[in-house]
Chain A
Amino acid sequence: MSLSPLGASRSLAAVFTPIKSGGLVDEVCRRIELAVESGLLASGQRLPNEVELAGALGVSAVTAREALSQLRGQGLIRTTRGRSGGSFVTENSFPSLVQARGKLMELTRLQITDLGLHFQAIAAACAAVAARRSSPEDVESLRNYIRPQLDDGEPATAFAWRLSAAEFLLEMASVARSARLAREMLRLQADIGTMTLLPFSDPAFCEQTAALNSSITEAIADHDATGAEARTRELITSTITWLLAEYAGSPH
């Protein structure tokens, strides 16, 4: 079987796309941004120094230094000198609604709807397979992420809701036990993650998400693939609909 000329040239174009210089520096920055954004590195926390960072990530000290300087430029970290000096994650640097909104407004409407379709396809596939393969232990761990678990009386922040919602979907992918679907879900979370902070600043949206997460969990517990898939589609649709309304400046 031979590829059509069009097909061949398309795949070749992807192979021979120039590799951007400075890609490694950007990659180091992206990792640290992700760690901060996902709450793994907290505000005020000391970052490893150049040498430690280089050793940890397997890059040269020059690359680590450049990355730290780039992050400083972005205002994500600040560096102090002296004995107790070092690089620290700046207070309230991440995650912010302003940044999330900035990211949303950078996109086109077309990009948002397309991302939504991809997200929905993957999440729905995970839900259906998860319903087939779930054990009682799986259902227990899904229940932990229906809504953020907090100490008594402490109100859940938009950030806590967003983390919990992301964990719920990743847990569902784990219950499905497909490495490919789980990897795709991780990638999608990275793409859409920051933006999903926005709808979780809306209490009505939070409660709706918890209600849908709960029905998805029950469908998965009952091995009801059709139900789990349908509720998951609703869940993703509600996120994208909220983001599109925000994008258009219309009320939710």
Chain B
Amino acid sequence: MNGKEAAPSAAGVGEPSATTTTAGGVPAVIPEGAVPAGARELAALIDSIEAGIDAWAQATTEWLSGQSKPTGTAIDKFIRPAVARMLHEPGSRLAGAGFVAVTGLLGHGRSYIAWWQGEDLERVDALANFSPSSISRYVKTEWFKVPVETGRPHVTGPYIDLLCTDEYVLTFTNPVFSSGTIAGVVGMDVTAQTLERAGLASLRSLGPGAVLVNAGGRAIVSASPTVDAGDLVQAAPEAAIYPVGRQFRIITHTV
């Protein structure tokens, strides 16, 4: 959980549409006919993660709105079982998940992080809650700032997460509110590796050069022999482009 990437200028929120734009802003029209199965499968994969965090953010907002003065212990008690359930679900795609409070939620000048990762439910950066300089690292990150400032869900990355997983990850974060006021974010880390295992076959079915990219045009999963995850790519003129989730897209041909 760290990272920075160009924030999407126009994060497409809502239903996948039949047209979208390339990294260069050139309109591209999806060829006649239905969206191919491979693109629908990848969209379903990301949609399920996004639906999961939407529901969790909703539940957390409801719980927080019923707390007159939340404490660290109470937050742990509410967040940890939810994280445990999500991480232990069969076929779980998550490397870690948790909650970070906005400064002031738990008292003057205090933030709080309740985040766990891995099968053993290892607590992330447990000492941070005792160190003001340490917690400030979190509140400065893209995955914290964007949902807090816009009040909308956001996906950060993929980026090298040196604060917790030490992996190449995507962090999905949603704002949570307490009686209408922003209270923090809930977030989920999904490694690029997990998405490759789950989505590479679908991606390959779209062609030998298909790449799943983020809003900044950075490859997340690649079927192309000339593109590696982490590379910046641009769509070739003949490419078909399919939107995936709120911020990603598939490019079938890259230059």
Contact = CB atoms under 8 A, between A and B. Distances in A.
Contact of A177 (B122, B128, B159, B216): B159
B127 A137 contact: no
B126 A186 contact: no
Closest A-B pairs by Cβ, 5 of them: A56-B126, A177-B230, A40-B134, A174-B160, A182-B160
B127 A35 contact: yes
Given A57-B126, A174-B160, 6 more contacts: A39-B133, A40-B133, A42-B131, A55-B126, A133-B232, A186-B166
B3 interface: yes
B167 interface: yes
Interface residues of A, number: 33
Contacts, number: 79
Nearest to A140: B4
Interface residues of B, number: 28
A57 B122 CA distance: 9
Contacts of B218: 135
A135 B3 CA distance: 13
A174 B127 contact: no
A252 interface: no
Given A31-B127, A182-B166, A137 B134 contact: no
A217 to B, nearest CB: 15
A41 interface: yes
Nearest to A55: B126
B123 A56 contact: yes
Contacts of A35: 127, 131, 134
Interface of B: 2-6, 122-123, 126-131, 133-134, 158-160, 162, 166-168, 216, 218, 229-232
Interface in A139-191: 141, 170, 173-174, 176-179, 182-183, 186
A47 B130 contact: yes
Nearest to A175: B160
A45 B131 contact: yes
A58 B166 contact: no
A234 interface: no
Contacts of B158: 177
A222 interface: no
A44 interface: no
B74 to A, nearest CB: 14
A202 interface: no
A135 B126 CA distance: 32
A174 B2 contact: yes
A58 B166 CA distance: 19
